[in-house]
Every structure is written in structure tokens, then in C-alpha cells.
């Protein structure tokens, strides 16, 4: 998940042009491949912080961000609140 998504490689793997891949991918997911990858990374970081009690910087690096501040901006854009506040508001079910 932390690897950079290479559209050319993905398009070659599925036998499509880059533009065709983007068009089909967006039709299925409502997002571009890069937006989808960002969404998955942020969801995984949230899981790491909530379920594994990982701090923000470590979670951001684990999922492929090079800058915790960029991670925090994108996290807030997706979830509507900064990571530390969001994580504090999520109750973890008892196991």
C-alpha cells in the first residue's frame, strides 16, 4: 500500500491505454486510481491509529506519506477532522 502507483504498469497489466484505464476505473469507483489509492492509504492509517494505537507520524509513514503534515491535511479533507481528534472520537469495540 505504501508503494507508488504506476498507472503505466497497471494499464499494461490489464491491456488498456492509460486513458481507457482512467475512464473505466472512474466509472467503477467514482475516483481516479490515484484518488482511490489515497483513500485506501488514509483508511489504513486510520485503522492503524485506532486499532494498533500507532501515532500519527508512524501511521503516515507506514502507509506511504513522506510528510506527516501533508498526511494530516489530506486526512482532514477526507474525514472532516484532524487525525488526533478523529482517533480520539472513535470508540474501539471491546474484544
Domain ranges of the chain: 7-89
Confidence of residue 61 (pLDDT cuts 50, 70, 90): very high
- Please, what CATH class does the domain formed by 7-89 belong to? mainly alpha
Q: Quote the CA–CA distance of 86 and 50 in Å, as a whole number.
A: 9
Quote the Cα angle for 62-72-77, to 5°: 120
Other beta carbons within 10 angstroms of residue 25's beta carbon come to: 21
User: What is the percent of the chain where pLDDT is above 90?
Assistant: 74
User: Does residue 43 have a pLDDT over 70?
Assistant: yes
Burial class (CB in 10 A: 0-12, 13-18, 19+), 60: buried
pTM higher than 0.85:
no
What is the 3-state composition of the chain as percent helix, strand, coil, each rounded to the nearest 5?
Answer: 70, 0, 30
Amino acid at each position: 500500500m505504501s508503494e507508488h502507483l504506476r498507472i503505466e504498469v497497471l494499464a499494461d497489466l490489464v491491456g488498456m491505454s492509460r486513458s481507457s484505464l482512467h475512464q473505466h476505473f472512474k466509472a467503477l469507483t467514482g475516483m481516479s486510481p490515484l484518488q482511490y489509492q489515497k483513500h485506501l492509504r488514509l483508511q489504513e492509517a486510520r485503522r492503524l491509529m485506532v486499532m494498533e494505537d500507532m501515532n500519527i507520524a508512524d501511521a503516515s509513514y507506514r502507509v506511504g506519506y513522506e510528510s506527516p503534515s501533508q498526511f494530516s491535511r489530506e486526512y482532514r479533507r477526507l474525514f472532516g477532522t484532524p487525525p488526533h481528534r478523529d482517533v480520539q472520537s472513535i470508540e474501539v469495540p471491546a474484544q
